């Protein structure tokens, strides 16, 4: 029975990835607005109904996280040493999360720049990640440290947004990572907590 479940889950994940890959390729080639759900479904060799079984809409095909990515970042959080200062843990986690988006983030940025609909979207690549990160911080924080831990987390998230928002179009992804590391260092040890 477990083998069947695993096979079913692998097939579902493969379908999810095929649909997203087709969507991102078409968005890159044709533009977000010009690409239809029907075109995505045809390119992924699935029905329109199957598309909607996996994604709520075209935006979701851009922003939803791969289930394996979520497991990866949850493991990354849980693997941080218990005694490590929170600021150091957050810097390592946020840098690794950014690295995990190396293949997608430049395309996402181009799509948002070209598409008014995506530019106005309230979704982001890291929405679920930030929710999980907040939960992780809360789980490892005592009540007496809650204020400092929340401040530390908010500063780290703001540093990440700042690095992305100030990333010039002519700079490489490696430049973004260096910019992120700089911004995280600038949050200062004063916000650090154990």
The per-residue pLDDT for 191 is 43
Report the percent of the chain where pLDDT is more than 90.
Answer: 60
Structurally, at CATH architecture level, domain 65-188 sits in: Orthogonal Bundle (1.10)
Residue 166, pLDDT > 90, answer yes
CB atoms closer than 10 angstroms to residue 55:
20
Contact 137, 55 (CB under 8 A): no
Residue 4, pLDDT > 60, answer no
Residue 125, pLDDT > 70, answer no
Residue 122, pLDDT > 80, answer no
Burial-class residue 18 by CB neighbours within 10 Å (0-12, 13-18, 19+): middle
What average pLDDT score do residues 11-26 get?
Answer: 95
What average pLDDT score do residues 122-147 get?
Answer: 85
Radius of gyration of the chain (CA): 19
pTM of the model: 0.79
Integer Cα distance of 4 and 151 in angstroms: 45
122 CB-side CA count, 13 A:
0
Q: What is the pLDDT of residues 36-46, one digit of tens each?
A: 999 999 999 99
The per-residue pLDDT for 192 is 44
Per CATH, domain 2-58 is 1.10.540.10: no
Q: Which residue has the higher pLDDT, 143 or 87?
A: 87
CA of residue 51 relative to chain centroid, distance = 21
Domain boundaries, the chain: 2-58, 65-188
What average pLDDT score do residues 15-43 get?
Answer: 95
Instruction: Name the least confident of 64-68, 156-160, 164-168.
Output: 64-68
């Amino acid at each position: 029975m477990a083998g069947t479940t695993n096979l079913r889950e692998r097939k579902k994940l493969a379908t999810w990835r095929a649909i997203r890959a087709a969507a991102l390729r078409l968005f890159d080639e044709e533009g977000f607005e010009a690409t239809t759900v029907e075109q995505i479904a045809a390119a992924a060799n699935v029905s329109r109904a199957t598309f909607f079984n996996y994604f709520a809409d075209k935006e979701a095909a851009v922003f939803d996280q791969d289930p394996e990515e979520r497991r990866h970042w949850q493991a990354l959080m849980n693997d941080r040493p218990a005694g490590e200062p929170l600021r150091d843990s957050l810097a390592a986690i946020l840098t690794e999360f950014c690295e995990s988006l190396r293949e997608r983030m430049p395309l996402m940025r181009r799509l948002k720049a070209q598409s008014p609909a995506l530019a106005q979207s309230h979704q982001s690549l890291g929405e679920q990640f930030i929710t999980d990160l907040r939960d992780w911080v809360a789980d490892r924080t005592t009540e007496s440290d809650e204020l400092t831990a929340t401040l530390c987390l908010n500063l780290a998230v703001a540093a990440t947004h700042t690095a992305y928002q100030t990333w010039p179009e002519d700079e490489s992804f490696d430049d973004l990572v260096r910019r992120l590391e700089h911004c995280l260092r600038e949050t200062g040890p004063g916000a650090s907590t154990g």
